């Protein structure tokens, strides 16, 4: 970890950004704005008061590096490592971070929004993992309190589906990162996250699947194994350790055994929304 550049006591005020994402409260603390102004605007729908966040909220402290490194032109996934105290270390091109073993404390040394967002994603994935859930790159759409999650490779149609559904008046929970977790006595829940068009809304998850293109839209059953392979490719790994990988596999397996695996084949027109409304209306 780089040494920290701390100002003289009292010269800079600390600022806070309190968020609640998929039921997970977190307080981001920084010196002055240090990336929080832009982040606060982007995440405004998920902002809450300190009272709502509560005393048990996770905390992410952000500090400036002693020698700032230029932001790279191309970002790569952070390198992860298990620390001797059971925590997790993250290292990127221009930032470094540590996350505590229990997941309630994190410390990032970096500049700007990107390091903060990266650590928030890992913290959220770890919080969901502790609930037996997943953070998935996909699109989640909701209708009458029921929702479907679709995932797939780049170009599969996730953003297109979200736009078609939203254009028809439907509710898109998220079209980038989607939180899912088992709720005791209530099946599986799904919620939007702050990234891209995410909404701070939850629904009951009734289907999880993949997408395909065709001239005619239709909803069809799909083998769980096919959905599972794509789900694992698009779920954020909380930590690159045997425990982290084992937890992800267990959560995905339980999800696919308790929620219907499907495929949505859709055209780039209003028929996609009609099919979705029919499927979720009778789920």
Between CA 193 and CA 179 the distance in angstroms is: 7
pLDDT for residue 1 is more than 50: no
pLDDT for residue 8 is more than 70: no
Helices (H), 100-234: 113-130, 158-167, 224-234
Q: Is 122 in contact with 180 (CB distance < 8 Å)?
A: no
Sorted by sequence, the CB contacts under 8 Å of residue 276 that are 6+ apart come out as: 141, 143, 148, 165, 170, 219, 264
Between CA 130 and CA 126 the distance in angstroms is: 6
Q: Which residue has the higher pLDDT, 24 or 69?
A: 24
Q: Which tens digit of pLDDT belongs to each residue from 263-278?
A: 999 988 889 999 999 9
- CATH architecture, range 134-281: 3-Layer(aba) Sandwich (3.40)
Give mean pLDDT, residues 164-169: 88
Q: Is 147 in contact with 188 (CB distance < 8 Å)?
A: no
Q: Which tens digit of pLDDT belongs to each residue from 180-222?
A: 999 988 899 999 999 988 999 999 999 999 999 999 999 999 9
| pLDDT score at 197 | 86
Sorted by sequence, the CB contacts under 8 Å of residue 229 that are 6+ apart come out as: none
Q: Which tens digit of pLDDT belongs to each residue from 95-112?
A: 999 999 988 999 999 888
Q: Is 198 in contact with 176 (CB distance < 8 Å)?
A: yes
Residue 76 CA to chain centroid, in angstroms? Answer: 17
Domain boundaries, the chain: 14-130, 134-281
Q: Which residue has the higher pLDDT, 1 or 188?
A: 188
pLDDT for residue 5 is more than 70: no
Residue 127 CA to chain centroid, in angstroms? Answer: 11
| pLDDT score at 6 | 38
């Amino acid at each position: 970890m780089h040494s920290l550049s701390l100002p003289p006591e009292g010269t800079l005020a600390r600022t806070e950004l309190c968020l609640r994402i998929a039921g997970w409260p977190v307080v981001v603390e920084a010196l002055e704005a240090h990336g929080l102004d832009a982040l606060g605007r982007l995440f405004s729908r998920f902002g809450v008061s300190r009272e709502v966040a509560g005393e048990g909220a996770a905390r992410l402290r952000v500090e400036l590096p002693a020698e700032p490194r230029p932001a790279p032109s191309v970002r790569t996934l952070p390198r992860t490592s298990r620390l001797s105290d059971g925590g997790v270390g993250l290292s990127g091109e221009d930032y470094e971070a540590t996350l505590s073993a229990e997941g309630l404390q994190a410390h990032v040394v970096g500049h700007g929004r990107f390091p903060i967002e990266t650590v928030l994603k890992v913290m959220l994935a770890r919080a969901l993992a502790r609930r037996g859930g997943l953070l998935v790159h996909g699109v989640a759409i909701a209708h009458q309190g029921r929702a479907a999650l679709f995932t797939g490779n780049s170009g599969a149609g996730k953003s297109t589906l979200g736009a078609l559904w939203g254009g028809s008046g439907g509710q898109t929970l998220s079209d980038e990162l989607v939180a899912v977790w088992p709720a005791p006595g209530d099946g599986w829940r799904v919620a939007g996250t702050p990234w891209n068009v995410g909404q701070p809304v939850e629904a009951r998850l009734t289907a999880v699947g993949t997408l395909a293109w065709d001239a005619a839209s239709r909803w069809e059953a799909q083998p769980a194994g096919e959905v599972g392979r794509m789900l694992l490719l698009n779920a954020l790994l909380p930590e690159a350790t045997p425990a982290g990988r084992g937890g992800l596999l267990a959560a995905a397996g339980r999800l696919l055994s308790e929620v219907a695996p499907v495929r949505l084949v859709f055209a780039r027109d209003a028929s996609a929304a009609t099919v979705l409304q029919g499927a979720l209306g009778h789920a």
